[in-house]
Amino acid sequence: SERAEQPEGAAGWAGRNMCAASESPSRRIETFVFLDLEATGLPPSRPKITELCLFAVARHAFENPQYDNRDSKRMPLFPRLVDKLCFCINPGKPFTPAASSITGLSNEELAWNKKQSFNIHVLHMITAFFNRQSPPICLVAHNGCGYDFPLLKVELSALGISGLDDIYCADTLKAMKALDSKNNQLHQLLYQASPLRSKKKYSLRDLYYRFYNVYPLNSHSAEGDVMTLISVFQQCAADLICWMDSNARPFNTIRAMYEENEKYTSFP
């Protein structure tokens, strides 16, 4: 059976069928593809993607972390076996000043460096990348349901692509809040205590600080944010993987951030 195939020491990992939502993957997720997008601004500005990064990490790598033996705190090492895809995209739309400032990208630099738009080659690259990963595949992004997934959907729709078949997605912001809330309930139950006053912060930067006591490097570069997210994920990998086995949803159920009916032909 599937359970019998689980690696030694994985007995504490929840089985797939214990609490699976109806549309979550019918088998445990095999590959986590961490995603971060940089773009021209926040949702009200109807942003366009400017940079996309994907790091694929096998479930096996999280279940069998390597440690630096010289480190007394036994922090897991960043996974060694990672497939990576990262590229810049000319958005064909002006950056908001804030987005340009935090990402270090600009319309001028993207044009001077001859970067292409979100064209069909993007679709070919990401589907080829997914085809090299062991399914089921789950896209993972921080605030993915609020930003990255709906924005990716907009850009794919503009290419006439309605979705990404057989790809699941999960949001670490939702997951971390859910795990903290579950632990809080457990705490109340065990100690007959009143609810813990939770002032916990859940931005990617604050989560990284919670676990590593320093702020992350390279914030607001797609690759930097993906590496930060993987480092956070490693700290709660068992719980996050269990949560995602049950709560990942098909990418095709994500609604676009906005409908691209207006044309931004006036730019540049």
Report if residue 42 touches ligand DCM, rule: CB under 6 A.
yes
Pick one of Mg ion, ligand DCM, none as the site partner of residue 31 (Cβ within 5 to 8 A by kind). none
Which residue of the set 60, 121, 124, 220 is catalytic? 220
Distance CA 35, CA 144 (A): 8
Q: Are strands 167-171 and 49-58 parallel, antiparallel or unpaired?
A: unpaired
Distance CA 224, CA 36 (A): 9
Q: Which C-beta is closer to ligand DCM: that of 35 or that of 244?
A: 35
Task: Pick the binder of ligand DCM from 25, 28, 38, 241 (CB under 6 A).
Answer: 38
Distance CA 84, CA 121 (A): 16
Report if residue 171 touches Mg ion, rule: CB under 5 A.
no
Distance CA 26, CA 74 (A): 34
Site residues for ligand DCM, 224-263, by CB under 6 A, read: 225
| Range in contact with Mg ion (rule: CB under 5 A) among 124-132, 153-161, 163-171, 219-227 | 219-227
| Range in contact with ligand DCM (rule: CB under 6 A) among 1-9, 35-43, 179-187, 236-244 | 35-43
Site residues for ligand DCM, 58-117, by CB under 6 A, read: 96, 98-99, 102-103
Of all residues in this chain, which one has the CB nearest to Mg ion in the complex?
225
Pick one of ligand DCM, Mg ion, none as the site partner of residue 126 (Cβ within 5 to 8 A by kind). none
Name, in order, each residue with C-beta under 8 angstroms of 140's C-beta and a sequence gap of 6 or more. 32, 33, 34, 35, 169, 170, 171, 172, 229, 233, 244
Contact 82, 55 (CB under 8 A): yes
Q: Which C-beta is closer to ligand DCM: that of 6 or that of 96?
A: 96
Q: Which C-beta is closer to ligand DCM: that of 223 or that of 245?
A: 223
Minimum separation from the CB atom of position 91 to ligand DCM (A): 10
| Tokens representing residue 215 in the block | 């702020």
Helix axes 222-235, 204-212, angle to 10 degrees: 50
Which neighbouring-strand residues pair with 141? 171
220 carries an active-site annotation: yes
Minimum separation from the CB atom of position 44 to Mg ion (A): 17
Q: Which C-beta is closer to ligand DCM: that of 103 or that of 172?
A: 103
Task: Pick the binder of Mg ion from 155, 171, 223, 225 (CB under 5 A).
Answer: 225
Task: Pick the binder of Mg ion from 36, 155, 171, 223 (CB under 5 A).
Answer: 36
Locate tokens 């859910």: which residue? 178
- Burial environment of residue 12 by CB neighbours within 10 A (0 to 12, 13 to 18, 19 or more): exposed
Q: Which C-beta is closer to ligand DCM: that of 60 or that of 201?
A: 201
Q: What is the dihedral of CA 61, 62, 63, 64, to 10 degrees?
A: 50
Closest C-alpha to 86, from 247, 198, 223, 231:
223
| Tokens representing residue 194 in the block | 């009143």
Pick one of ligand DCM, Mg ion, none as the site partner of residue 42 (Cβ within 5 to 8 A by kind). ligand DCM
Distance CA 187, CA 185 (A): 5
Question: Which residues lie near ligand DCM (CB under 6 A)?
Answer: 36, 38-39, 41-42, 96, 98-99, 102-103, 220, 225
Active site residues: 220
